[in-house]
Amino acid sequence: MNPDISKVFGTMFDMLRRRFGLMLGLYAVFFAISMVYSMLVGGVLGVSTLAAAGTAGAENPFAMGFGFIFGMLVFYLGFFVISFAQSLSLNAMATPLREPSFGEAFGDGWRGVPAMFGIMILLVIAYFVVALVFALVAGVMAAVSDTLAGLAIGLLVLLLIPAIVYLGCRLSVLSPVVAVDKVYNPVTAIQRTWELTRGKVLGIFVIMLVFWLVAAVIFGLLFVMFFGSIFAAASTGGEAPAIGGMIVGLILFAIIGLLFAIVSAALISSLHGELVGPVSGDLQNTFE
């Protein structure tokens, strides 16, 4: 049975009404963490790179380049950790299945990070396996006939978008499974998600389609307002209005990005709650 679309969106708005302040607080904390991390680690990388350039850079440029690349990988790995933790914490706070405290949701986010990395690695491996199989098949077809190779590529293009949409729907509630159900084994988390979404792809697709259409309209209007003000000011020779429009546009983009992160977390958690089933009586009473 497909999820009740109106109920999912109703639950989402209810969670936003009740817990928006807490979710905003979580977002602010993780934003502060990412800023501090960026300044500290970025500063260390900058100083170490300059020191290496002044000492061993001329003698061993390869080692210097490798060290810089390794440092950048570590730098972005940290951002992945913070991003995963933020997403999981927001999901934990937005769920209708329980009522966590701020600290509990914050901790749930960090505890789920290893699971999310494991899931990401498994999905990347699966992608490369499928790509390798297709490449081998396409290679065999190309050896037989160029026409067959063209057909294989055309078939891939035709199947690629539906496959991505299907997998996106089947794995849509991975984050709440980790953060809310506390499934920290990557394989078990994928299996659990696959079971929850079995036979419900159409309903999930409609929910996601509605959400992304609304988001696209909002971002589109913002884009028009942002660049429209700049072009209008530029055509009249007004430098100050153009700068003001850019500043306002950047602020609006930041606000919309914040709201998008919070609302999307509430939607996914509400969808997960609908797929899992009704909440317990005691918890339900807390929302009445």
Name the average pLDDT for the chain.
82
Give per-residue pLDDT as tens, 82-98: 999 999 999 999 999 99
Higher pLDDT, 262 or 138: 262
Closest CA to 192 of 166, 167, 174: 174
* Confidence grade of residue 282 (pLDDT, cut at 50, 70, 90): very low
Query: By the 8 A CB rule, do 109 and 95 touch?
Result: no
Q: How far apart are CA 14 and CA 270, in angstroms?
A: 10
Residue 13's contacts (CB-CB under 8 Å, 6 or more residues apart) are: none
* Confidence grade of residue 284 (pLDDT, cut at 50, 70, 90): very low
Give first-to-last CA distance, the chain, whole Å: 26
CA geometry: angle 133, 134, 136, nearest 5 deg: 65
In sign, the C-alpha dihedral spanning 251, 257, 258, 263 is positive
Q: Kindly calculate the radius of gyration of the chain based on its CA atoms and give it in whole angstroms.
A: 24
Concatenated DSSP letters of 239-264:
HHHHHHHHHHHHHHHHHHHHHHHHHH
Per-residue pLDDT, averaged over 5-27, amounts to 95
User: Residues of 110-134 as b/e, b for ≥16 C-beta within 10 angstroms?
Assistant: ebbbebbebbeeeeeeeeeeeeeee
Give per-residue pLDDT as tens, 123-147: 999 989 988 887 787 777 777 766 7
